[in-house]
């Protein structure tokens, strides 16, 4: 397993400045890690992603997306509460998301952050709690990063 720093991270630490924040609307974003299994630890999913293609770059920002199934009349409240932590509604579920067990709306809440096992687990728990309080369920999460055409 690599150190997780990578050449870009190493160069960034030498230069000592941060690059522009990741644009969540970039057309070259691809899913680099996902977990729709409640029993799977975030650390396990991230380990798997570090060895898969496309490769998750631990040192780079990612668009972390949480897929929730909520009663349709609770979506606005979920957006309001999650918005306090920088999340935005990114749309509704797609074909890659398992069918919801709850009648209503499949919602994707997302934000940009550097993804590590601890913060991923915290956010996974936070979203499960939010969904439960609003009468829904957390289906799972995924993260997107730009496809690195140079590597």
23 in the Ramachandran plot: left (φ > 0), alpha (ψ -120 to 50) or beta?
A: beta
- Count up the domains in the chain and report the number: 1
Residue 130 lies in a domain: yes
Confidence of residue 18 (pLDDT cuts 50, 70, 90): low
Structure confidence at residue 104 (pLDDT): 75
Tens-digit pLDDT profile for residues 106-130: 999 999 999 999 999 999 999 999 9
Residue 74 lies in a domain: yes
Note the pTM of the prediction, 2 decimals: 0.80
CATH of the domain at 23: 3.30.70
Residue 93 lies in a domain: yes
Residue 151 lies in a domain: no
Residue 62 lies in a domain: yes
144 and 94 Cβ atoms separated by less than 8 Å = no
Structural domain span for residue 23: 6-146
Residue 121 lies in a domain: yes
């Amino acid at each position: 397993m690599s150190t997780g720093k990578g050449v870009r991270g190493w160069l960034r630490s030498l230069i000592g400045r941060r690059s522009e924040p990741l644009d969540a609307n970039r057309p070259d974003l691809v899913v680099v890690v996902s977990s729709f299994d409640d029993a799977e630890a975030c650390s396990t999913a991230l380990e798997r992603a570090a060895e898969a293609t496309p490769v998750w770059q631990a040192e780079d920002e990612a668009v972390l997306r949480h897929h929730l199934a909520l009663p349709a009349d609770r979506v606005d409240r979920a957006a309001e509460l999650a918005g306090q932590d920088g999340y935005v509604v990114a749309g509704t579920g797609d074909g890659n998301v398992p069918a919801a067990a709850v009648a209503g709306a499949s919602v994707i809440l997302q934000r940009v952050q550097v993804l590590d096992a601890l913060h991923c687990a915290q956010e996974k728990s936070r979203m499960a709690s939010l969904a439960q309080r609003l009468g829904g369920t957390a289906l799972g999460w995924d993260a997107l990063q730009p496809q690195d055409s140079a590597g």
